[in-house]
Amino acid sequence: MSAKTRIKRLARMAASSTAASAVDLVTLFAVLQLLPLWPGAAGAVGCVAGGAVNFALCRGWVFRDRGEGWLGQILRYALLVVLAGALLAGVVIQLATAVIGLPVLLAKGISAALVLVCWNYPISNRLVFRGAEP
């Protein structure tokens, strides 16, 4: 795959992640307004909604994967992108705030960028959507 194709894919993945984050936040606040849930539970609902949007966009638009069944991809996505990505993001945020002394919001932004470029994109490209067209 050419460098130009990789850059386009990474840009599409950044846009997909941004859309997913927007869905996550809108869902969080909508659920808090409409249902008597704790903020943590509403946050979990938002994460699931955002994750579903991100998976769908990654499969159909970012990687244009029409290959193998989506069930295996969802399982790999949940384990490798969502769970592992969340753990990595948490570590980066903790180190950035506790060791370097950055504000949480800045640490979150740095963490999101690092995890996207250094983990989520490579893992999605090589393992989750491995049957994607170049």
Going from the first residue of the chain to its last (134 residues), give the mean pLDDT of each consecutive group of 10, the final group possibly shorter: 88 94 90 85 85 93 82 92 85 90 87 90 90 62
What's residue 15's pLDDT? 96
Question: In angstroms, rounded to a whole number, what is the distance separating the alpha carbons of residues 127 and 91?
Answer: 23
What's residue 134's pLDDT? 59
What's residue 95's pLDDT? 92
What's residue 23's pLDDT? 93
Radius of gyration of the chain (CA): 16
What's residue 46's pLDDT? 85
Helices (H), the chain: 3-34, 39-57, 70-76, 84-94, 104-115, 121-123
Q: Which amino acid is at 110?
A: I
What's residue 20's pLDDT? 92
Question: In angstroms, rounded to a whole number, what is the distance separating the alpha carbons of residues 6 and 21?
Answer: 22
In the numeric block, which tokens belong to residue 131?
Answer: 């049957």
